[in-house]
Structure 1
């Protein structure tokens, strides 16, 4: 936990670590999309932003 931000620590205790939960769901969503669309590549400079690789004929 972040000891320099006591309000953050209190919110995590009361509500849970929402940013961690969102990150977990986003990572699971990316994995699910990769199963459907194929590999995805991170966007340049974007943390957590992804772009599906181009689809080519005959590719699944």
Structure 2
């Protein structure tokens, strides 16, 4: 996108390629979420909850977070 821009090139040299780093981090987080959600998605078809393996964070609730409630 900005490959032919000397200003962009200088910023990348000084600060690093922030858009590229952000994109890579977003892709990494997406892969992790897909991996974590896979057991939950595959177990949704199971008729008995006891048959499903426990997913990481299965007991998480918004009320468990510190701080004021968003109500």
- TM-score for the superposition, normalised by structure 1: 0.59
Distance 1:56 1:13 in 2: 48
String of CA shifts for 1:9-53, please: whole Å, max 9, x gaps.
010000000000001100100110011113xxxxxxxxxxxxxx7
Structure 1 unaligned regions, length at least 5: 39-52
User: 1:2 Cα shift?
Assistant: 1.1
Give the total of aligned pairs: 44
The alignment status of 1:56 with 2:44, answered yes or no, reads yes
Distance 1:27 1:21 in 2: 10
More strand by share: 1
More helix by share: 2
User: 1:56 Cα shift?
Assistant: 2.9
Higher relative CO (CA 8 A, sep ≥ 6), structure 1 or 2? 1
Structure 2 unaligned regions, length at least 5: 47-51, 54-71
Superposed structure 1 runs of 4+ greater than 3 Å apart: none
- TM-score for the superposition, normalised by structure 2: 0.51
